[in-house]
Amino acid sequence: MDYQFKDIEAKWQQFWFKNQTYRVENNTSKPKYYVLDMFPYPSGAGLHVGHPLGYIASDIFSRYKRLKGFNVLHPMGYDSFGLPAEQYAIQTGQHPAITTETNIKRYREQLDNLGFSFDWSREVRTSDPNYYKWTQWIFMQLFNSWYNLEKDKAESIDTLIAKFEKSGSKGVQAVCDEDCTIFTADEWKQKSKEEQQKELLKYRLTYLRESTVNWCPALGTVLANDEVKEGFSERGGYPVEQKKMMQWSMRITAYADRLLRGLEEIDWPEPLKEMQRHWIGKSVGAMVSFSLAPGFPKGGGTEPNDDLAGARLEVFTTRVDTLFGVSFLVLAPEHEFVSSLTTSEQKEEIANYIAQTQKKSELDRMSDIKTVSGAFTGSYAKHPITGTDIPIWIADYVLVGYGTGAVMAVPSGDQRDWLFAKHFNLPIIPILDVQKELDIQADPTKEGKYINSGLINGLSYKEAVRLLIDELEDRGMGKAKVNYRLRDAIFGRQRYWGEPVPVYFKDGLPYLVDEKELPLLLPEVDKYLPTESGEPPLGRAENWNYHDQFEYELSTMPGWAGSSWYWYRYMDAQNSQEFAGKEAIAYWQDVDLYIGGSEHATGHLLYSRFWNKFLKDAGYVKEEEPFKKLINQGMIQGRSNFVYRLVNEEGKSTNTFVSAGLRNQYKTIALHVDVNIVENDVLDIHQFKSSRAEFADADFIFEGGKYVCGVEVEKMSKSKFNVINPDDIVARYGADTLRLYEMFLGPLEQSKPWNTNGIEGVFKFLRKFWKLFHDDAFNFFVSDQEPSKAEYKALHKIIRKVEEDIERFSFNTSVSSFMICVNELTDLKCNKRKVLQDLVIVLSAYAPHITEELWMLLGNEAGTLSYAKYPKFDEAYLIENEFAYPISVNGKMKMNLTISLGLDASEVEQLVLANGDVQKYLDGQSPKKVIFVKGKIVNLVI
């Protein structure tokens, strides 16, 4: 029989399912290997041809590792809490659980179609109560922990309480809110229970506090920083504003440095590591204090200002060495000191300026970086060393959110400060002898010796920094300080379809529910909208109280909660006692290979590392980093097709369509056309006419008798009519062809537009492969004769090649090599069992169905192929005793000459020079030099 992919694929998919071929045990006798895909959100649109790219690669890798004798964990599940199902619920009233269930079913069908070797017995769904029970449990562990800086790890909150009881808060080195107070042990004991809880909340790793949050009115919820892109929500693209709110947060900043250091040890793509480094944004510098008292406001101020008596203006700088170049201070307009610092003379100006900046949107403020603006408060601060008066300004180039919201301006070293100084005519003080062209721009050099700089005059950068920090510390006016851009992650969402936060309120303070009462189930509500009083949808749940008396937290957890630990659940998915058993974790440890998109760089991948580190501190897991190696598969873009509709003189659309090549001769508008009725950019007129009623009597202006469509590469999406469904490809060519083709398309990491054109080549290859095992009448026919040297050579080349390629994730080159191998064996008319059986094993990782069928036809037990042994490569079959040397003259290849590899340099030289054709190229000259690299090249230099 000819290659009947439909029958073969259906048969084996059923076989694998029935026999649970890919079910994996936590078996300690074999070495483990954990291959993980980023689990999908099951959207209503289903999978398009781009989604499986990474899954195919990870499946090939998993199958390969199995053949290599590893016990491979290769699971799949669903990140099934999320906005789209909830938005749909708001529109239709259908419970998000039902939508989600339907979508998951569809996803499963599509995934099953592709022959993946997932162990579905370990499937997880983040919206399943048996799963989110543990998400809530981890939340509780975080709530019950604080970060001890002395040990650089998280600890139980009990150890903090013990410290407070023993010696108060003095000397406690913790990551905490800025408003932590200093108290003694006695003072602690005198505090009421509530006061103690309030204080502890400032230390807990998940905490509730009033903070400025990203509020998205259209979605009715707060968003984490990584969910906001350029002032708009990542999902939906709605505007986001800043708002002060009581909110749950995760103290991820406690882990900032460990998150940064950990990047050194993991094998991740460099761009992704860079993104995380930048997101964490460590900068090493110093805090410097500028005192305001005594005698301010100065410079004409009339009223003495007591609000800030004795207060200091704190400034963060990465260049303390430039301290003597400070000629003014700049505060963010929102800085809390601004109103107190403003003198009556300056009041109007400052008020105007603040009003002006408030009018500007976030976007305007970012895009308009050319215009220099600011206003003088009228007040002065004292330079911490010289004591000189420094004017205090406000300007919107200083951001409240970073550092202290105030900067010391050094116009000679910083371009923004320089522009500001020029604009407002403030002094520009040179501080290094090598600074040049200060009348044109700032010079941020660290070279040279200091001038105009008091105690550091004549010193170099490094010496100056050390001396200055010592001096500032002595005076109590500053200290070395590391600053991070990373903010604590907002953890609550005012939404329905998420994990309930296992917290209730008593006297306004949050308390955890009893662990035994987990999971705290998501209650039923009549509508999925906020309540009339503006509370989140959970506020609609009736009689939803803790022990019938205390109010539950009404926010739910964000999307990233469930995905921040799911890889552990796969290790022991059915465990009802723990999130995963100790033994299971000890065996599987961490993810060896993680494949997924780079869009999760600063979200999921950062949060997961954070939770993992916390779980390690708490003693539940072994590894500091969860994902040893990570690969980003490229995005498969859509290839959109267009038709061009003629526009008449009145500017109205007609029903005539112009072929792409002629469109410049007419006035047209472009319309997306469904790519499924276009082949090689030629429109199927018949299908086009029947696609929509309005096109039924369309006219066409053809070129060369055809209607040619325009082409553009865009994101694959329904609205652009460029979605290719993998099901359609599978129906036409089979899953094995699709798998091979997606790999053949190019390097895994590269983004590329989908183009079905080349798929025929891969399909042909599989038919050719099938033919090797069959005679001309398509009867299965394999010979038991000993293979020839050439046949063995072809086999062992592919054994080695595929091994090398898979180990370096170069799947596209393997596919080429398979083609070469099958072409060679076809030319050799090879049908020897000894060659073909091994070839079946090697190919099985890529094309599991066809190889499973042939494996059985070869007389092996059905279904055992997945656990067969990868054939051993034997160099002996590849050893040659001759080589066709390229003979080049001055580095230009001229001809080939076959020479024995046994000869040494001088013998080869003699042979080459004696050759008549070589003499022709030498043109009678004798070469100045002969370069000979054994097995590579002979180069004659003349």
Partner RNA sequence: GCCUAGGUGGUGGAACUGGUAGACACGCAGGACUUAAAAUCCUGUUCGCCUUAAAGCGAGUGCGGGUUCGAUUCCCGCCCUAGGUACCA
CB of 896 to RNA, least distance (A): 6
What is d(CA 901, CA 809) in angstroms, rounded to the nearest whole number? 33
Residue 367 or 664: the one with the smaller Cβ distance to RNA is 367
Token reading at 777: 């009448």
Is residue 811 within a helix (H) or strand (E), and if so which, with residue range?
Answer: helix 811-827
Using CB atoms within 10 Å of the CB of residue 623, give its burial: 0 to 12 exposed, 13 to 18 middle, 19+ buried: middle
In the complex, minimum distance from the CB of residue 454 to RNA, in angstroms, rounded to a whole number? 19
CB of 398 to RNA, least distance (A): 4
C-beta of 212 vs 575, nearer to RNA = 212
CB-nearer residue toward RNA: 750 or 785:
750
Distance of alpha carbon 67 from the chain centroid: 30
The Cα–Cα gap between 892 and 922 comes to 12
Could you write out the DSSP letters of every residue in 121-190? Answer: GG--BTTSHHHHHHHHHHHHHHHTEEEETTTTEEEEHHHHHHHHHHH-STT--EE--TTPPP--HHHHHH
650 SS3 class: coil
Amino acid identity of 334? Answer: E
Q: Taking the complex as a whole, how short is the minimal distance between the CB of residue 284 and RNA, in angstroms?
A: 9
User: Which of 757, 646, 659 minimizes the C-alpha distance to 701?
Assistant: 659
Cβ proximity to RNA: between 316 and 565 the closer is 316
Token pair of 526 as six digits: 């009549």
Question: Could you tell me the smallest distance in angstroms from the CB atom of residue 890 to RNA?
Answer: 5
Least spacing, CB of residue 821 vs RNA, in Å: 10
- Integer-rounded Cα Rg, in Å, for the chain is 35
**316 vs 835: CA distance, rounded Å:** 70
Report the C-alpha gap between 94 and 89 in whole angstroms: 5
Of 790, 793, 785, 732, whose CA–CA distance to 763 is shortest?
A: 732
115 vs 405 by CB, closer to RNA: 405
Q: How far apart are CA 499 and CA 556, in angstroms?
A: 5
Nearer residue to RNA within complex by CB, 578 or 681:
681
Strands (DSSP E) along 527-590, which ranges?
A: 545-546, 550-552
Min CB(803)–RNA separation in Å: 11
Closer to RNA by CB, 205 or 408: give it: 408
d(CA 833, CA 782): 6
Nearer to RNA, 316 or 566 (CB): 316
* Closer of 398 and 501 to RNA (Cβ): 398
Based on CB atoms, which residue is closest to RNA, 14 or 415?
Answer: 415
Beta strand spans in 814-908 (E): 882-889, 892-900
Nearer to RNA, 398 or 429 (CB): 398
Least distance to RNA from the beta carbon of 938, Å? 8
- Taking the complex as a whole, how short is the minimal distance between the CB of residue 300 and RNA, in angstroms? 28
The minimum distance between CB 636 and RNA, in angstroms, equals 11
Least separation in angstroms between CB 585 and RNA = 33
Q: How far apart are CA 819 and CA 822, in angstroms?
A: 5
What's the CA gap between 310 and 305, in Å, rounded? 11
